[in-house]
Every structure is written in structure tokens, then in C-alpha cells.
């Protein structure tokens, strides 16, 4: 099985997600605003 993680400095692949209002947003929508830090936490709230 291949390791799906990205190495530091590797650009993230394009993706889209729903925001808290249910609106679809793309990675590009946010990178147009400036630098972006993504953090994914596995688990429940």
C-alpha cells in the first residue's frame, strides 16, 4: 500500500469541502486570500 501522506513543502492537491453554512468551497477559494494552513484531526467532537 502506498503512503497517502504529503511530504513537507508538497502542494496540496485540489479539493473542495462544505463550509459551516453548507456552501461548497475549494482550496483555491482560500489560497486566493493568502497563505493557508490545513490541519486535519481524526476523531469526534
pLDDT digits (tens, 9 = 90+) for 1-45: 566 777 888 888 888 989 889 999 999 998 888 888 877 777 776
Q: In what helix (H) or strand (E) does residue 25 lie, and over which residues does it extend?
A: strand 24-26
pLDDT for 24: 95
State whether residue 42 is helix, strand or coil.
coil
pTM exceeds 0.75, yes or no:
no
Q: How far apart are CA 10 and CA 17, in angstroms?
A: 20
Residue that the C-alpha cell 475549494 belongs to: 26
pLDDT value of position 9: 83
Q: What is the pLDDT of residue 39?
A: 78
Amino acid at each position: 500500500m502506498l503512503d497517502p501522506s504529503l511530504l513537507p513543502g508538497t502542494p496540496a492537491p485540489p479539493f473542495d469541502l462544505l463550509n459551516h453554512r453548507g456552501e461548497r468551497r475549494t482550496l483555491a477559494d482560500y489560497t486566493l486570500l493568502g497563505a493557508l494552513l490545513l490541519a486535519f484531526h481524526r476523531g469526534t467532537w
